[in-house]
Structure 1
Amino acid sequence: MVERTVSSEFRSSEFRSVESPSAEKRILALWCPDWPATAAAIAADLPPHHPVSVLYANRVVACSAPARMAGVRRGMRKRQAQSACPEMTVVATDDHRDGRVFEPVVAVVADLVPVVEVLRPGLVVVPAGRAARYFGGEHVLAEKLIDAVAACGVEVQGGVADELFTAVLAARGGHHVPPGGDVAYLADRPVGDLAVEPSLSDPGRTELAELLRRLGITTIGAFAQMSVRDVATRFAADAVVAHRLANAAPGRPPSGQATPVDLIIEHRCDPPIDRVDSAAFLGRRLADELAGALAAASAACTRLTVEAVTERGQRHARTWRCARPLTPEATADRIRWQLEGWLTGGRPGAEDRPDSPVVMLRLEPIEVVGAGTLQYSLSGNGLPEDPEIGERARRCLVRVQGLLGGDAVQLPITSGGRGPADQITMVALGDERIPARNPAAPWPGRLPQPTPAVLVETPILVLDMTGTPVEVTGRGCFSAEPTTVQMHSAGRRRRSWELRWWAGPWPTGLDDDGAGGLIARAQVLLDDSRALLLCYRARSWVVEGVYE
C-alpha cells in the first residue's frame, strides 16, 4: 500500500471546543477528496505524486491533486487533459473498483467507532456524541480517525456538525461547526452547495440551484429565509427537502434500528462461499428478493445493512445510506463492494479478514419509505449515471413488452404534420424509428408554437349568441361570431362556458371523408381561464388540445 501524506484543518487548535448537551447528536463526516482518482492510483500501485485522471465518455470526471496542479480540470476532454499533463495516467470510471478499495478505509473507521454509515465510496459518517466522550472530545476523535485512515495511504478531511448535510459540507473544508451553529455556517455558502454532494441530493437538485441563482437567490441562507409554503408551491418536491437542509432541520442520525422481520432477507449458503464471484452472484439474487419484499410492502429502502457470517461465527456488517431508494442493481453493487473488499483483505496487516468461508448473508433495510415518496428519473440530466438510468428504463420497458405483447410498448418520435397529434408517430419498442411523415417538410398551415400541453379528442359544440352552432364556411371563416362552447357526454349534464377570447379559424386543407368540408383550427379562452385548441372536421368541432 502506498504511503500518503495527510493534511487537514481539523488538526488546528481552532477545532477544539467546549462540549455541550447537544453534542450527543453530533455527526462526524470523513471525506476522501477525489476518491475515484485515489482508488485508481491505489489499485495500480502508483506513487502519491503521480497525476491520475478518471474519464467517463471521454471527459475528466475526477483527477488527483498533482493533475490539478498541472492544469487538468473536471469536464476536460481526454486530449485536452493529456496535453496539459502528458505524464498523467488516464483510467476509465469503475464503480466496483471505487467500492472495493474503499472497504479497507471503512474497516479502520469501524475499528474505532462501530456505528459507521457509508454514503458512497469516499464518504462515511459516524455519530460523534458518545465516541467523542469516550476518546476525550470531538477533536481527539477526529484526529484518531484521520490518523487511522492515513495509515491506509488515503488523504482524508473531517467535519463535525449537528446535522448530516452540514457535517458533509464541513468535511469538504475540514471545518468544525460548533453545536447549534449549523444555520450560521450554511447561511453564507453558495446555493450550489445544496447539490454538491450527490449521495444527499436528488438528480434535479442541480437544476434547482441554477433556477435559484437566476432568481437572485445566491446563498443557502437566502433560500432558507423563504417560507416553506412558497417553496412547496413554486418548486418541485425535492426543493422542500433542500429547504429543510438549508434550515438545518433535524434529520435522521446515523444509527441502526430494528425493522420488520418480513423485510429482512437472510440466506444460508450451502455450500459455504469463499470466492468473490460466488458472493457477488448470490448478492444479486438476494437483492432481487429484497426488492420483491419491499415492493410487496409498498416500500423502498434508503438505508441498508449488509451482514456476512462465517463458519466460525465471525461477522462483518456495513450500513449504506442513500438519498434515493436502492434499486436491485445498486443493492447488488454494494454487496459486491463490501464482500470483495473483505474477502480480499485489501489493507495491509488486516486482521479482520474472514477466518472461514461465509455461511450466511443477511440484508436488513434499516430505513424504509413509501414506494411513491422517492422516484428515479427515466430521462438523462447530464450526470455520469444517466446511461445507467436510461438502460434501466429500457430493461423495464422490454420486460413490460414481453408480458403484454410487441405493440403494447410504444415510443413517440417527431413526425411531420399540421396538427399537434399529427406531429408525433408512435413506434413499437425495438422497431426502426421511422416517422410516418417527414418532419422537415414545409407543412403549410402548421399550428404555430406553443403547442398544447395535453392532447385530447373530445366532441364539443361552438355556439353563437343565439345558440346556433357555428361552422366554418367554404371561405375559411366562422359562419357567425362564437360566444359559447358546450360539451356533454352520455349520462351527464350539459356544461357551457363563455368565450373571453378567440383566434382563427385557420384552414389546413380539405376533409378526406368525402363530404368536401374544410379542416380548420381555432384557439379559444374560456371564462374559467382555460385555453383550448379546437379542430373543425367532418362539419363538427372537437377539443384537440389543452394549453397549460
Structure 2
Amino acid sequence: MKDTRLLAVWCPDWPVVAACTATNTSHHIPVAVVDGNEIVATSAVARAEGIRGAMRKRLAESMCPELVIFDHDPQRDARFFEPVAEAVEELAPGIEVVHPGLVAVPARGPVGYFGSADQAAERLVDHIAARANVEAQVGVADSLFAATKAAHRNLIVPPGRTAEFLKPLGVHELDAPELVDLLRRLGLKTLGAFADVPENAVASRFGGPATRQHRLARGLPERPLDKRKPAPELAVRETFDDPVDRIDAAAFAAKLLSERLHENLAARSLACTRLGIHARTENDEELHRVWRAAEPLTPRGIADRVRWQLDGWLTRERLTSGIRTLTLEPVEVVNGTALQLGLWGHDDERAVRALLHVQGLLGPDGVLTPVIDGGRGPKEQVKLVPWGDERTPGRNPDHPWPGRLTRAPATLADDPAELQDARGGDIGVTGRLELTAQPKKLTVKGKKHEVRAWAGPWAVDERWWAPDPHRAARVQVQTNEQAFLLIRRNEKWFLEGVYD
C-alpha cells in the first residue's frame, strides 16, 4: 500500500513574524495583526497580556496600550515565507505550500533518509532556524489536517492512529465557525463526538461542506481519492518580451495567466487543488513551487497564489535577473462543475477578461469596484478596491455607527452648495441643531432649485476627544426634481450626495 502520511512544517504566529521582519520590530514586545477591525494573529507576549484572536482592535488596545498593531497583508506573509520554504526543500524535496506559515511534504522521503520521523523533525527544525532564523514545529500524521494539528503540538502521530489523536480535540479546531457553533449547541464538543455521527446523517442534515469537515474529524483526507491526473495540455505558459522584475508587473501577469488556466480547466469541468508554479529567469535560473489548497481554487485563488509566489521570488537577493517565462500547471484536479461559470455564466467570464484588459492598460487602480464599508457618512460607507483584489471592508459595516445614515444617496458628490431662505439669505445651523430659517432655495453647480421639503439637521460630531474635533451637520432637501443630501461644515454648505 502506498504511504500517504504527510509531514507538516508550521511556523507559529507567522503573520506576526512576517510583519516584524518587514519592519525590524522586536519579537519580544506585544504585537498583533488585524484584518479590518479584528485581530487575526498575536505574538506570545501579546497573548500573555490577554490578547486573543477574533478580539476587537479597540478592546485589545484598551487591555494593552503598548500593543503594536500591523494590518494583515497576505502578500507580505508569502514574500517572507519563501526563504523558509526553500530551507525545508533543501532537506525534503517536493514540498507544497498550504499557506504562508505552513508547508507539507510526503513523510516517506525525509523519514526514510534521516532514519525516523523524530530525527527528520529535529533536523528540519534546526535547519530552518539556521537558514531562515525562524522557529518551526513539525507534525506527522495520516492526513494534512491531522498533520497540521500535530505540528501545532510538535507531535509525531504513529501510523494508523490519526483518528485516535484527533478524537479528544475540540471542534473549534475545524475551520468552519458556523458549523462549530452549531455542533456545540448540539452537544458535539469534540472531533471524536462529531466523527461518531454517521456520514449520511451529516450529509443530509448539514450538506456538502460539513461532510468535508466530517472527513477531517475522522482523520481522512479532505477529499476522497478520486483525483484525476491532469492532461499536459492544461498547463499555460507565458513568455514575456521584457523580463518581469517588478511586483506590479508580476501581479498583472498572475491575473492574466490565472484566467487562462481557469478557462482551460472550466472547459473540461475541472478545478485545481494543487497548483504548480514554474518560472525561468533571463539568466536561465529555474524556479518551482507547488501550492496545495483544501478547496478547489477559483480564478482569484489561483491569481493570489501566483502573485504571492512571484513576490517571494522577485524580492529575494539571490535572483539575478527578471522572469522571462512563467508556467502554471495543475498538479492535481477534481470535478469543478460548480466553478465552471460565474453567477452570470459566459457573460461574466467575458466581463472579467475585459476588465483585466483595461487594468493592463491603465494600471491596478484603473478599474475599481465598490465594497460596503463601515462608517457614518455616505463616502465612508463605500470603499473602492482595484478589480481582482479581495473585496473586504476596511471597517466592519455591521458594527454600531452612531449617527449613521440609514439610506445613503445613490450618487456621491463634494460640491459647494447654497441653501437660502425666501429672501435669499444664507441659512445656518445653531448650536441647538436648528436651522436659522426655513429653506426655500437650493443652488447646486449653478442650477437653482425650489425647496419643497426638508429634514434635519443631524449632528456629525466625530473625534470629540481630539483637540480639533470634526463637527458638522447634515440636511436632506427635497426639490421638484430630486432629493439632495447637504452637509454644513466650516460655515459653508456642500452637496454630499443625490438620491435617485
Please indicate the TM-score interval, normalised by the length of the shorter structure: 0.5 to 0.7
1:187 maps to what in 2? 167
1:83 match: 62
Give the paired residue count. 355
Secondary structure of the residue aligned to 2:94 is coil
Tell me the CA shift for residue 431 of structure 1. Answer: 9.6
- SS of aligned partner of 1:331: helix
In the other structure, the counterpart of 2:330 is 365
Corresponding residue for 1:122? 101
User: Distance in 1 between the 2:266 and 2:94 partners?
Assistant: 28
Within a 5 Å distance, the mapping from 1:96-107 to structure 2 comes to: 96-107=75-86
Q: Secondary structure at the match of 1:142?
A: helix
Distance between the aligned counterparts of 1:38 and 1:60, measured in 2? 15
Q: Is the 8 A contact 1:25 1:253 kept in 2?
A: no
Deviates more, 1:223-232 or 1:368-377: 368-377
2:376 maps to which residue?
none
**Counterparts of 1:253 and 1:36, CA distance in 2:** 31
Amino acid at match of 1:169: K
> Quick one: structure 1 residues 36 and 287, their matched pair in 2 at CA, closer, same or farther if it must change by over 3 Å?
same
Q: Does 1:354 align with 2:319?
A: yes
User: What is the alpha-carbon distance in structure 1 between the residues aligned to residue 59 and residue 119 of structure 2?
Assistant: 44
Q: Which amino acid aligns with 1:29?
A: A
Correspondence for 1:332: 303
Q: CA distance change for structure 1 residues 374 and 234 in 2, over 3 Å: closer, same or farther? A: farther
Q: Secondary structure at the match of 1:25?
A: coil
1:150 to 129, 152, 155: 129
2:220 is equivalent to residue 249 of structure 1: yes
Q: Does structure 1 retain, via aligned residues, the 8 Å contact 2:228–2:333?
A: no
* Structure 1: distance between partners of 2:189 and 2:64: 35
Which structure 1 segments of 5+ residues have no match? 1-20, 196-204, 347-352, 379-391, 404-429, 434-548
Query: 1:182-230 CA distances to partner (integer Å, 9 max, x unpaired)?
Result: 01111111122222xxxxxxxxx32222222222222211222222222
Partner in structure 2 of residue 211 of structure 1: 182
Counterpart position of 1:317: 288
| Matches for 1:31-50 after TM superposition, within 5 Å | 31-50=10-29
For the residue of structure 1 that corresponds to 2:19, the secondary structure is helix
For residues 70 and 333 of structure 2, the distance between their equivalents in structure 1, rounded to whole angstroms, comes to 36
> SS of the counterpart of 2:134?
coil
Q: Give the corresponding residue for 1:228.
A: 199
Q: Determine the C-alpha separation between the residues in 2 that align with 1:77 and 1:206.
A: 17
Q: Which of 154, 157, 179 is the aligned partner of 1:177?
A: 157
Structure 1 residues 39 and 75: alpha-carbon distance in aligned structure 2, compared to 1, 3 A threshold: same
CA distance in 2, matches of 1:45, 1:376: 44
Q: Is the 8 A contact 2:342 2:348 kept in 1?
A: no
- Would the aligned equivalents of 2:142 and 2:220 in 1 still touch at CA under 8 Å? no
Query: Which residue identity is paired with 2:36?
Result: A
Amino acid at match of 1:37: V
Task: Give the aligned partner of residue 407 of structure 1.
Answer: none
The one-character-per-residue Cα deviations of 1:335-378 (angstroms, maximum 9, x if unpaired) are 222122122216xxxxxx33433221000011122223579999
| Contact 1:127–1:253 (8 Å) recurs in 2 | no
CA distance in 2, matches of 1:287, 1:377: 15
User: Is 1:295 the equivalent of 2:274?
Assistant: no
Residues 258-277 of structure 1: pairs in structure 2 closer than 5 A = 259-277=230-248
Deviation at 1:161, TM superposition (A): 0.8
Mapped pair 1:342 → 2:301: no
Q: What letter matches 1:40 in structure 2? A: A
| Structure 2 letter corresponding to 1:167 | A
Q: Distance in 2 between matches of 1:56 and 1:257?
A: 36
Q: Which residue of 1 aligns with 2:254?
A: 283
For residues 77 and 376 of structure 1, what CA distance do their matches in structure 2 show? 37
Partner of 2:113: 134
Code of the aligned partner of 2:80: V
2:224, 2:238 → 1: CA distance? 29
CA drift at 1:83: 2.7
Task: Tell me the secondary structure at the aligned position of residue 188 of structure 1.
Answer: coil
Q: Work out the CA distance in 1 between the residues paired with 2:342 and 2:144.
A: 25
Q: Which residue, out of 159, 167, 183, partners 2:139?
A: 159
The C-alpha deviation readout for 1:157-189, integer Å capped at 9, x for no partner, is 211112211101111111111111101111111
Structure 2 equivalent of residue 59 of structure 1: 38
Shift of 1:120: 0.8
Q: CA RMSD in A?
A: 3.2
| Alpha-carbon distance in structure 2 between the residues aligned to 1:251 and 1:66 | 34
Q: Retained in 1: the 8 A contact 2:266–2:341? A: no
- What displacement does 1:76 show? 2.9
Per the alignment, in what secondary structure is the counterpart of residue 48 of structure 1?
coil
Alignment of 1:374-413 (within 5 A): 399=351
Against the structure 1 CA distance between its residues 238 and 51, is the aligned structure 2 distance closer, same or farther, given a 3 Å change threshold?
A: same
Distance 2:81 2:221 in 1: 29
Superimposed CA distance per residue, residues 93-146 of structure 1 (whole angstroms, 9 cap, x where no aligned partner): 111111111111111111111111111111111111122111221111111211
In the TM superposition, residue 249 of structure 1 has moved relative to its aligned partner by: 2.6
Change (3 A) 1:251 1:230: closer
Say if 1:324 and 1:375, in contact at 8 Å, map to a contact too. no
Q: 2:77 & 2:187 partners in 1: Cα distance?
A: 38
Closer, same or farther: CA 226–80 of 1 in aligned 2, 3 Å: closer
Establish whether residue 306 from structure 1 lines up as the match of residue 277 from structure 2.
yes
Partner of 1:478: none
Q: CA deviation at 1:272?
A: 2.4
Amino acid at match of 2:163: V
Q: Aligned partners of 2:39, 2:264: CA distance in 1, in Å?
A: 39
Question: Is the 8 Å Cα contact of residues 229 and 333 (structure 2) preserved in structure 1?
Answer: no
Larger radius of gyration: 1
Q: Distance in 2 between matches of 1:375 and 1:258?
A: 19
Q: C-alpha distance in 2, partners of 1:228/1:253?
A: 13
Distance of 2:121 and 2:338 partners within structure 1: 35
1:231 is aligned with what amino acid? Answer: V
